[in-house]
Amino acid sequence: MHVTRRQWLLLAAITLMWGCNWPMMKFSLREVPPLTFRALTMSGGALLVAAWFALRGISLALPRAQVGRVLALSLPNIVGWHFASIIGLTQLAAGRAVILAFTMPVWTVLLGALLFGQHLTRRAGVASLCALVAVALLAIDEFTTLAGRPVGVLWLQIAAISWAYGTLLMRRLPVPLSTEALTVWMMTFGAVIFWVAALAAEPWPDWRAWQAGTWASLVWGIVINFGVSQVLWFGLARELPAQAAAFSMMGVPLVGVLSSAWVVGEVPVASDWLAVLFIGAAIAAATGVGTARGENARR
């Protein structure tokens, strides 16, 4: 399928939004507790996206019989991913966190083979090896650095595994809803769970003490991360070939590392750059980027 210039530009915009979101989250966490941050941005994003889809005439009705399934899907896709990733982000640099989080395509392949009997290909083996090297590079650095926090590496891998399992579950637990309605309701259920967790585990924040930059980063989380990028992605997801979407995924860790230097003043080290390269190679192998070109060349 041909990808137009407009589609490439929109895909590049989404990649920038997703990559820049990690240092923006890190900036917010300077003053906002992590669970409260998730509750605020997710609930605001759910309302914003729901309003947009409703204005477009897309039905967001949720039949009572499907509530249980939607809740089951929201646990790994929304709650598990967002909980583990934000806890990991509190312990690691934003650039490092996004590198570790984007092992998720590799985990999707591995869990598919382990839990659902999917065939493991040679590309899956290459992807797994590249991802393992990337994680090992960053884990060793956290273990050997005086102020290192290797538990953060574990949290980000839990997030990636949760996302991967949720992706596989989406394919095996069909729900007769539009993708837009399903996403809005999963975000809504996730927001409710995060509000309950935040109220139980964190002190009520003093919003009046938050600086203007904190409010700006929260607006980014609601409007850009959960709003604009979601709407753009829904518009592209049905049009793009899988390999084009994979290119976007490969670019997010690099954007995250680069933007972290500007937003929160992080200075990436050699192990970060090497890990970016290995994660890019892992995603390329796991998603089959370059396969079609190679097959065409052999014909």
Q: What is the pLDDT of residue 242?
A: 56
- The structure tokens listed for 170 are 């989406």
Amino acid at 193: I
Would you give the distance in Å from CA 159 to the centre of its chain?
9
Q: What is the pLDDT of residue 120?
A: 80
Q: What is the pLDDT of residue 250?
A: 78
Q: What is the pLDDT of residue 294?
A: 38
202 DSSP 8-state letter: S
Q: Which residues, including other chains, have CB under 8 Å from residue 246's CB and lie 6 or more apart?
A: 105, 283, 284, 287, 288, 289
* Distances 114 to 69, 249, 264 between C-alpha atoms, Å: 23, 23, 39
Give pLDDT tens digits for 46-62. Answer: 999 999 999 999 999 99
Closest CA to 22 of 226, 233, 222, 257: 257
Q: What is the pLDDT of residue 244?
A: 63
238 DSSP 8-state letter: T
Helix (H, G, I), strand (E, B) or coil at 67: helix
Q: What is the pLDDT of residue 298?
A: 34
Residues of the chain with pLDDT under 50: 292-299
Q: What is the pLDDT of residue 12?
A: 87
What are the sequence ranges of the domains in the chain?
A: 5-200+213-267+275-288
